[in-house]
Amino acid sequence: MTFEEYVARSSRWVWDVIGYARTQQVRMGEDALTSLVVLGVGALEVKGARVFDMRAGEHEHGADVALWLEVRGNTWAGVAIQVKKAKLRSGTGFYEKLGHTVGGRRQVDILIDYAVHEHMTPLYALLNDAASMGACRRLGTSCCSVWDDGWAGCTVVDAAVVKQALAKRGRRTTAWIHGRGRAEAARCALCRCVREDAAGFKATALRSRELPEDVQALLESSDATVGPSSMRLEKALSEDGPPGPAFVVVVPIDRDAV
């Protein structure tokens, strides 16, 4: 299974699970969904990139997940991701926690500062279902694939758009966030056909660099697949780098796909 296939499958799963939980009046938060998706990636036992669960130090860097994708050769794209789940109020989908603050600072600003320092791209992964998305579920595909409404289960948007949403009342809705191409399905963003169109989040628009030494050390290790953080992993991460991961998992990535 390729990375884009996993993203498509997990997006559909999120879409269905949130919707089902809503009908059963069962609370399904973004934290639980994030954990299950990250663990699911590790269960595939494939190679090509690294995903770090960053929530233990989220108050310091604003990211739930750090993702490193191999673009080509020894060039990697780092993505710092904050996850938010849509809620429903009076028939309108909105992201209640989009303006979350930590110590008086907005989380989005903390995320952007961290991403800039680490040469990563700051993104928000938005988790949705049919009820919260309403008519805007039909985003349309920005790639070569036939659109599937389930792909709207996980959409991605640049952190800069989140700042725009917070600048004016009424912009935290799923309709505004997904309007005018501001956000797109994560599956489409990583499609192999994407090349130069960087209007939204595109794989080709990601900031790339040589893989940091601490992450390279993890890639070269033979036993880092999935499991609790170990002393070896914590030691491999430099003091200036991201905090030690709670989990390290491996995901597939096609070098020719981006």
pLDDT digits over 121-172, tens only? 999 999 999 999 988 876 766 667 777 889 999 999 999 999 999 999 999 9
pLDDT for 48: 53
Q: What's the pTM value of the predicted model, to 2 decimals?
A: 0.77
105's CB contacts (< 8 A; 6+ apart) are none
Rg of the chain over Cα atoms, rounded to whole angstroms, equals 17
How far apart, in whole angstroms, are the C-alpha atoms of residue 126 and residue 239?
30
The residues near 71 (Cβ < 8 Å, ≥ 6 apart) are 77, 203, 206, 208, 255, 258
More confident residue, 80 or 146: 80
Which has the higher per-residue pLDDT, 93 or 199? Answer: 93
What DSSP string runs through 179-234?
A: GGGSEEEHHHHT-TT--S--SSS-GGGS-EEEPPHHHHHHHH-SS-SSSB--HHHH
So what's the pLDDT on residue 163?
Answer: 96
pLDDT at 87 over 90: yes
Return the percentage of the chain with pLDDT > 90, whole number: 44
Average model confidence (pLDDT) across the chain: 76
